[in-house]
């Protein structure tokens, strides 16, 4: 009896071990197959190309991939990610289900949700089977599984993290305003010295969401699908804030910069006092390229700022899905993530979990110089979650109607 | 009689051949545009199977017409488009009148190539950098004259009225029209016409207006219309220079195509059709303007106005006409400085330190430069080949057949954003988007009208007596073409190829849509960098972009000089 039970237990353990072993080897086998299939393929990687440092990081990745895996990585530099989504849609319209022109796409939030709805992504989940997925920890960073509250379902692989930070020139401004309310006072006292990118620009919309979350004290309604009945009530504090700020914005609110690099340029030109970026290291990198003065520093609001994760997705009709997965896997490797986190290269925070790395891998991260204007991890600790994605188009339309229609 | 029977047969065969040529040409040029239009009309009427929309409805139209600020956006487009075209044309004519035949014109002519080849966005970046409150002009006088150590909060660019956009457009289109006018007037007996005018007691101004300008206008009328259509629907320049509250119509439509919500493509498609309506309205207004100006000129002529008193004003006006070109040139100089600058902050008049930082990436741009060059060269030579075929086999036909003319010019007359999205679907369906042949073909149909425009009048005025001499010496048609016609036509061929290169290199939206991002050119790169405010790298891209037309210009010039130099005496009917 007793013996039997032990025997059963041993059998169970053995079977379990076998299964686990089989699963790993199957995974490893799959991946070897993948590598074989990917050999010689060309990956057309469609990624926003407006930042020279990101572009040179991608070309470094391309060089490494070509040396190691015989994969050619072509960076298709987009001015707008939605134009690539448009292209995939055009291909679906034309019935081209194979041999599409895009293999890998840098994406998050709204565009991902739209692609998911229209069935423009790979049918089967692929992300968790990537070997380097083991370095991530979805318990510590749940955002790698849910993109703006939209479950990723294993159809986009996390690439980097982003957090809204403000930058200012400490030579001109001693104590920056660290809340939406303080910012309102600052704008009133310093007419013409603050601007944000014009919605529907991504950073512009993020700024509106930031202000709304702060003023409504994180109204729980913002984390549920938008509701016509309470839209006006929930957003009222935001419009009051903007109405008050508008006459004292840059160019009296009669013009807005097109995007955040232009906004950063305005800070460098001394036309504004405070700029916004979605990358904590952006200002440091700009200083090292001579685009911002040495005296620029960054800060976040006391209540925290919006944070999210950006991803790599493979379209349903990719020509080289195998090589694209290999690229996504490489981008998730500690080696590529360390390089990306380096302020001198790009300065994009990693999505990997430090406890899951080996000591030497961890050391590589901790040894990175932070950059003169970059906040410490502790200072960046306070984050706000992205509202439900359905709020974005509604806020966008409402903002345009109020401030950009000339009516 | 057999002869009487065979003649109608020959005529019939010719007729068939000519009809065939007509249809083929119409297809060659009309097809991409028609394909593109179908790809817009279907979603605009509610049919878009990829999004599960298969029923026809007017929802797209209703949604688009409810766009906030649509009226103001349309008005802004109409206003800036018409004004920019009118000012460009006026400035071009003033410069022709004031400087034709002078040393100044030789200098201006040298500037034209680079200014035509540079993309709109680079000029826009230069303009912003020049005129912004923190811009170069302000830096040059600050703080010495203004006492400012931080830029003023008022600004000229972008302005709420669209003047900055008009200025930017004129800086690009005036040199273009001037280049075409110079090519057109090359085959005109300019000095004789002006001498006749002077002999009859007309001033320089009046001689030009009565005798020369109508001839030039007739020849460049279609490119002017193309400029009008382009100005009405410009995107890249408008992003930086136009007011954005609301933006011009084209940007409103493009926002729809780029909306993260894919369903926004349907109303945007209706917007693309709306844009065509706006173009038609502008064409009508332009046509009315043409009649009015024509009537005014006729009235002056009938009154016997000699216009001597107007001549002194010409110099004054020409100063204003040169300003937009100077701004373009200063924009390029600024781009050059930025490409070497590291740390250039207000109010410093020059960068704090020179650096090779931005030029370190130059090798990664070289493939793009090579792509641009290959594309421009193959498209221009292909277009030249087609034009020669037409000149020898269907010239009269194209002259007479207005439909055929319209087909040639169709790609220039339909706003780009109104057919490129549809064309993308069409090419994707055929499986040829993002491939070289498709891209060369599309570039060719965009530059062929200009090559035709330069070659046709030159061919018509070729001195055929040389040909007769060669014929009587026993040379066959092909050898006569090589040994006689080509040398005779070398100047227009050089000009046509150069215009072809320049237009191809500056082509942005068609390259993006048809190249599918798979074929990247230096222009696409430059626009992307410029739109994102990276002045340093954008400066490098702009310099590389200038390189191609300059090299082409040099090669063409050297070739003409050393290969055909011995024919120099044949210029202007040398035998007489």
pLDDT tens-digit map of B336-347: 888 898 888 888
CA dist A342 and A56 (Å) reads 13
Give exposure, A159-172, as e/b (b: 16+ Cβ within 10 Å): bbbbbbbbbbbeee
* CB A174 within 8 Å of CB A186: no
Average pLDDT rounded to a whole number, residues B319-334: 87
- What are the chain B neighbours of A195 within 8 Å (beta carbons)? none
Cβ A79–B431 below 8 Å, yes or no? no
Average pLDDT rounded to a whole number, residues B199-208: 90
Instruction: Clarify whether residues B101 and B185 are in a common domain.
Output: yes
Q: Mind telling me how many Å the CA of B455 is from chain A's nearest CA?
A: 37
Task: Tell me which of B356, B391, B424 is where a domain ends.
Answer: B356
Residue B357 has phi, psi (to 5 degrees) of -45, -55
CA angle A8, A13, A18 (to 5 degrees): 125
Q: Mind telling me how many Å the CA of A131 is from chain B's nearest CA?
A: 29
Among the partner-chain residues A94, A270, A401, the one whose CB lies closest to the CB of B150 is A270
- Return the pLDDT at A301: 96
Suggest the residue from B64, B163, B339, B533 to mutate for an interface test with chain A (most A CBs closer than 10 A): B533
* CB B522 within 8 Å of CB B545: yes
Average pLDDT rounded to a whole number, residues B112-121: 80
Q: Number of A to B CB contacts under 8 A, please give it.
A: 201
Query: Quick one: pLDDT band at residue B370, thresholds 50, 70, 90?
Result: very high
Count of Cβ atoms closer than 10 Å to residue B43 Cβ: 25
In a domain, B12, yes or no: no
Q: Is the peptide bond before B476 cis (omega within 30 degrees of 0)?
A: no
CA dist B248 and B244 (Å) reads 7
Instruction: Clarify whether residues B329 and B376 are in a common domain.
Output: no
Whether the pLDDT of residue B3 is over 60: the answer is no
Q: Where in chain A is the domain with CATH 3.40.190.10?
A: 38-161+309-371, 165-307+384-404
pLDDT digits over B512-539, tens only? 888 877 888 988 888 878 777 678 888 8
CA dist A113 and A108 (Å) reads 8
Question: What's A121's DSSP letter?
Answer: B
Say whether A98 sits in a helix, a strand or coil: coil
Domain count, chain B: 2
Cβ B533–A77 below 8 Å, yes or no? no
Structure tokens at B142: 């600050």
- Return the pLDDT at A8: 57
Q: Mind telling me how many Å the CA of A90 is from chain B's nearest CA?
A: 5
pLDDT digits over B256-281, tens only? 888 878 888 899 999 999 999 999 99
Query: Quick one: pLDDT band at residue B549, thresholds 50, 70, 90?
Result: confident
Q: Which residue of B has its CA nearest to A49?
A: B528
Cβ A82–B258 below 8 Å, yes or no? yes
Q: Regarding beta strands A165-169 and A104-107, do their DSSP bridges make them parallel or antiparallel, or are they unpaired?
A: unpaired
Q: Mind telling me how many Å the CA of A75 is from chain B's nearest CA?
A: 9
What DSSP element (H or E) covers B5?
Answer: helix B2-44
In a domain, B381, yes or no: yes
CATH T-level topology, domain A165-307+384-404: D-Maltodextrin-Binding Protein; domain 2 (3.40.190)
Residue A34 has phi, psi (to 5 degrees) of -60, -45
The answer to whether the Cα torsion of B558, B560, B565, B569 is positive or negative is negative
CA dist A357 and A363 (Å) reads 9
Percent of chain B with pLDDT over 90: 27
**CA–CA distance from B258 to each of A400, B243, B268, B278 (Å)?**
16, 19, 9, 21
CA dist B339 and B360 (Å) reads 11
For residue A267, which of A167, A184, A191 has the smallest C-alpha distance? A167
Among the partner-chain residues A77, A270, A293, the one whose CB lies closest to the CB of B520 is A77
Whether the pLDDT of residue B571 is over 50: the answer is no
Whether the pLDDT of residue B406 is over 80: the answer is no
Question: What predicted TM-score, i.e. pTM, was given to this entire model?
Answer: 0.84
CA dist B289 and B295 (Å) reads 10
- Return the pLDDT at A9: 53
For residue A374, which of A302, A245, A248, A284 has the smallest C-alpha distance? A284
Mean pLDDT of chain B: 85
Among the partner-chain residues A117, A251, A405, the one whose CB lies closest to the CB of B68 is A405
CA dist B74 and B69 (Å) reads 9
- Return the pLDDT at B7: 56
3-state helix, strand, coil in chain B (%, to 5): 80, 0, 20
Cβ B262–A85 below 8 Å, yes or no? yes
In a domain, B291, yes or no: yes
Q: Which residue of A has its CA nearest to B148?
A: A270
- Return the pLDDT at B363: 84
Using left for φ > 0, alpha for ψ between -120 and 50, and beta otherwise, residue B168 falls in: alpha
Instruction: Clarify whether residues B210 and B134 are in a common domain.
Output: yes
Query: Quick one: pLDDT band at residue B492, thresholds 50, 70, 90?
Result: confident
Q: Mind telling me how many Å the CA of B88 is from chain A's nearest CA?
A: 26
- What are the chain A neighbours of B516 within 8 Å (beta carbons)? 87, 101
Instruction: Clarify whether residues B549 and B415 are in a common domain.
Output: yes
Structure tokens at A228: 């016509």
Its domain, for residue B477, covers 19-51+364-564
**CA–CA distance from A130 to each of A75, A122, A337, B194, B196 (Å)?**
22, 15, 15, 78, 83
Instruction: Clarify whether residues B434 and B324 are in a common domain.
Output: no
DSSP string, B247-280: PPHHHHHHHHHT-SSGGGHHHHHHHHHHHHHHHH
* CB B318 within 8 Å of CB B98: yes
Say whether A290 sits in a helix, a strand or coil: coil
CA dist B172 and B187 (Å) reads 25
**CA–CA distance from B346 to each of A260, B142, B539 (Å)?**
19, 8, 19
CA dist A272 and A143 (Å) reads 33
Instruction: Clarify whether residues B489 and B440 are in a common domain.
Output: yes
CA dist A231 and A346 (Å) reads 38
Residue A105 has phi, psi (to 5 degrees) of -135, 135
Cβ B260–A85 below 8 Å, yes or no? yes
Say whether A275 sits in a helix, a strand or coil: strand
Tens digit of each residue's pLDDT, chain A (407 residues): 455 555 555 555 555 444 444 444 445 567 888 889 999 999 999 998 877 789 889 999 999 999 999 999 999 888 788 889 988 988 888 888 998 989 999 998 888 988 998 999 999 999 999 999 999 999 988 889 988 878 999 999 999 999 999 999 999 899 999 999 999 999 999 999 999 999 888 899 999 999 999 999 999 999 888 988 999 999 999 999 999 999 999 988 888 988 888 899 999 989 999 999 999 988 998 898 888 999 999 999 999 999 999 999 999 999 999 999 999 999 999 999 999 998 888 889 999 999 999 999 999 999 988 888 998 888 888 889 888 888 988 999 899 999 988 76
- Return the pLDDT at B574: 29
In a domain, B223, yes or no: yes
Whether the pLDDT of residue B464 is over 80: the answer is yes
Instruction: Clarify whether residues B402 and B547 are in a common domain.
Output: yes
CA dist B52 and B58 (Å) reads 16
**CA–CA distance from B289 to each of A27, B285, B286, B294 (Å)?**
73, 6, 5, 8
Q: Which residue of A has its CA nearest to B360?
A: A56
Q: Which residue of A has its CA nearest to B540?
A: A52
Among the partner-chain residues B49, B153, B536, the one whose CB lies closest to the CB of A191 is B153
Suggest the residue from A56, A90, A97, A271 to mutate for an interface test with chain B (most B CBs closer than 10 A): A90
Among the partner-chain residues A77, A83, A264, the one whose CB lies closest to the CB of B533 is A264
CATH code at position B428:
1.10.3720.10
* CB A212 within 8 Å of CB A235: yes
Structure tokens at A15: 């079977």
Maximum distance among all Cα pairs of chain A, rounded to whole angstroms? 87
Task: Tell me which of B340, B356, B372 is where a domain ends.
Answer: B356
CA dist B267 and B260 (Å) reads 14
Suggest the residue from B334, B433, B517 to mutate for an interface test with chain A (most A CBs closer than 10 A): B517
- Return the pLDDT at A7: 55
Give exposure, B513-526, as e/b (b: 16+ Cβ within 10 Å): bbbbbbbbbbbbbb
CA dist A308 and A385 (Å) reads 7
Say whether A163 sits in a helix, a strand or coil: strand
- Return the pLDDT at B553: 77
Q: Which residue has the higher pLDDT, B566 or B551?
A: B551
In a domain, B14, yes or no: no
Q: Mind telling me how many Å the CA of A309 is from chain B's nearest CA?
A: 17
CA dist B514 and B445 (Å) reads 13
**CA–CA distance from A196 to each of A206, A207, A272, B119 (Å)?**
10, 7, 10, 27
Percent of chain B with pLDDT over 70: 93
- Return the pLDDT at A102: 94
What is the side-by-side strand order in the sheet with A165-169? A274-277, A165-169, A296-299
CA dist B348 and B339 (Å) reads 16
Cβ A110–B260 below 8 Å, yes or no? yes
Cβ B426–A85 below 8 Å, yes or no? no
Three-state secondary structure along B96-148? Answer: HHHHCCCHHHHHHHHHHHHHHHCCHHHHHHHHHHHHCCCCHHHHHHCCCCCCC
pLDDT digits over B58-79, tens only? 889 999 999 888 999 999 999 9
CA dist A223 and A397 (Å) reads 19
- Angle at which helices A81-93 and A110-117 cross, to 10°: 10
Among the partner-chain residues B51, B68, B346, the one whose CB lies closest to the CB of A407 is B68
Under CATH, which number does the domain A38-161+309-371 receive?
3.40.190.10
Average pLDDT rounded to a whole number, residues B21-36: 79
Task: Tell me which of B356, B375, B410 is where a domain ends.
Answer: B356
The ipTM of this complex is: 0.80
Suggest the residue from B47, B157, B260 to mutate for an interface test with chain A (most A CBs closer than 10 A): B260
End-to-end, the C-alpha distance of chain A in Å comes to 86
Count of Cβ atoms closer than 10 Å to residue A399 Cβ: 21
Count of Cβ atoms closer than 10 Å to residue A65 Cβ: 21
């Amino acid at each position: 009896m007793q013996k039997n039970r032990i025997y059963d237990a041993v059998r169970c353990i053995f079977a379990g071990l076998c299964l686990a072993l089989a699963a790993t080897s199957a995974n490893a086998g799959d991946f070897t197959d993948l590598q074989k299939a990917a050999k010689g393929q060309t990956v057309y990687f469609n990624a926003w190309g407006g930042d020279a440092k990101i572009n040179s990081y991608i070309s470094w990745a391309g060089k490494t991939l070509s040396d190691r895996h015989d994969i050619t990585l072509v960076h298709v530099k987009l001015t707008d990610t939605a134009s690539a989504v448009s292209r995939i849609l055009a291909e679906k319209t034309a019935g081209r289900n194979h041999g599409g022109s895009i293999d890998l796409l840098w994406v998050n939030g709204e565009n991902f949700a739209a692609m998911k709805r229209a069935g423009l992504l790979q049918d089967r989940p692929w992300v968790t089977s990537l070997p380097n997925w083991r370095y991530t920890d979805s318990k510590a960073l749940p955002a790698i599984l849910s993109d703006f509250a939209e479950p990723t379902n294993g159809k986009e692989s996390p690439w980097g993290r982003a957090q809204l930070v403000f930058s200012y020139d400490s030579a001109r401004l001693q104590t920056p305003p660290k809340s939406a309310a303080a910012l309102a006072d600052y704008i009133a006292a310093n007419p013409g010295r603050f601007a944000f990118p014009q919605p529907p620009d991504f950073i512009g919309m993020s700024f509106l969401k930031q202000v709304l979350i702060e003023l409504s004290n994180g109204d729980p309604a913002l984390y549920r699908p938008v509701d016509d009945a309470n839209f006006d009530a929930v957003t009222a504090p935001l419009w009051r804030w903007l109405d008050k700020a508008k006459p004292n914005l840059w160019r009296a609110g009669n013009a807005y910069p097109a995007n955040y690099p232009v906004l950063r340029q305005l800070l460098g030109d001394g036309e504004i006092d405070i700029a916004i970026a979605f990358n904590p290291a952006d200002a440091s990198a700009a200083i090292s390229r001579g685009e911002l003065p040495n005296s620029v520093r960054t800060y976040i609001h006391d209540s925290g700022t919006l944070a999210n994760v950006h991803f790599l997705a493979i379209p349903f009709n990719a020509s080289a899905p195998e090589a694209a997965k290999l690229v996504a896997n490489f981008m998730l490797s500690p080696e590529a993530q360390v390089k990306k986190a380096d302020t001198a290269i790009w300065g994009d925070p990693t999505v990997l979990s430090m406890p899951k790395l080996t000591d030497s891998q961890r050391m590589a991260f901790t040894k990175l110089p932070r950059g003169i204007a970059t906040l410490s991890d502790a200072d960046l600790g306070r984050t706000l979650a992205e509202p439900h994605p359905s709020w974005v188009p509604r806020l966008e339309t409402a903002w345009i109607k109020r401030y950009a229609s000339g009516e | 009689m057999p002869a009487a029977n065979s003649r109608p047969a020959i005529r019939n065969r010719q007729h068939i051949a000519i009809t065939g040529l007509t249809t083929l040409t119409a297809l060659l040029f009309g097809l991409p545009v028609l394909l593109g239009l179908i790809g817009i009309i279907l979603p605009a009427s509610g049919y878009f199977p990829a999004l599960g929309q298969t029923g026809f409805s007017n929802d797209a139209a209703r949604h688009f017409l409810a766009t906030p600020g649509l009226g103001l956006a349309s008005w802004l487009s109409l206003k800036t488009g018409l004004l920019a075209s009118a000012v460009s044309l006026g400035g071009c004519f003033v410069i022709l009148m004031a400087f034709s035949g002078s040393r100044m014109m030789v200098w201006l002519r040298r500037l034209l190539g680079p200014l035509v080849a540079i993309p709109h966005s680079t000029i826009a970046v230069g303009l912003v950098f020049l005129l912004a409150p923190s811009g170069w002009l302000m830096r040059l006088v600050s703080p010495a004259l203004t006492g400012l150590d931080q830029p003023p909060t008022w600004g000229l660019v972008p302005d709420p009225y669209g003047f900055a956009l008009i200025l930017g457009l004129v800086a690009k289109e005036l040199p273009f029209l001037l280049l075409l006018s110079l090519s057109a007037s090359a085959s005109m007996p300019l000095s004789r016409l002006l001498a006749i005018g002077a002999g009859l007691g007309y001033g320089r101004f009046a001689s030009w207006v009565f005798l020369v300008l109508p001839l030039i206008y007739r020849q460049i009328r279609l490119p002017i219309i193309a400029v009008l259509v382009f100005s009405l629907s410009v995107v890249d320049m408008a992003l930086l220079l136009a007011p954005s509250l609301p933006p011009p119509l084209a940007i409103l439509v493009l926002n729809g195509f780029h909306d993260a919500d894919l369903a926004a493509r349907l109303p945007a498609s209706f917007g693309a059709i709306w844009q065509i309506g706006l173009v038609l309205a502008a064409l009508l207004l332009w046509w009315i303007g043409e009649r009015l100006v024509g009537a005014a000129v006729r009235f002056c002529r009938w009154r016997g106005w000699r216009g001597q008193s107007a001549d002194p004003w010409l110099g004054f006006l020409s100063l204003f006409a040169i300003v937009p070109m100077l701004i373009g040139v200063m924009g390029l100089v600024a781009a050059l400085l930025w490409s070497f600058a590291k740390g250039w902050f207000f109010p410093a008049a020059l960068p704090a330190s020179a650096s090779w930082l931005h030029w370190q990436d130059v090798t990664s741009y070289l493939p793009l430069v090579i792509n641009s060059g290959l594309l421009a060269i193959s498209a221009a030579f292909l277009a030249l080949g087609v034009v020669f075929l037409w000149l020898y086999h269907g010239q009269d036909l194209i002259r007479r057949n207005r439909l055929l003319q319209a087909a040639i010019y169709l790609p220039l007359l339909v706003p780009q954003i109104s057919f490129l999205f549809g064309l993308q679907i069409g090419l994707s369906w055929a499986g040829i988007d993002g491939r070289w042949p498709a891209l060369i073909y599309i570039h060719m149909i965009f530059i062929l009208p200009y090559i035709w425009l330069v070659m046709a009048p030159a061919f018509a005025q070729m001195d055929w007596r040389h040909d007769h001499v060669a014929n009587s010496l026993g040379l066959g048609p092909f050898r006569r073409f090589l040994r006689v016609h080509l040398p005779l036509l070398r100047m227009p061929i050089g000009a046509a190829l150069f215009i072809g290169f320049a237009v191809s290199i500056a082509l942005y939206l068609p390259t993006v849509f048809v190249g599918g991002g798979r074929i990247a050119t230096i222009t696409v790169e430059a626009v992307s960098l410029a739109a994102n405010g990276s002045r340093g790298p954008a400066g490098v891209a702009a310099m590389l972009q200038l390189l191609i037309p300059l090299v082409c210009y040099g090669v063409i010039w050297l070739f003409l000089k050393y290969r055909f130099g011995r024919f120099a005496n044949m210029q202007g009917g040398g035998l007489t």
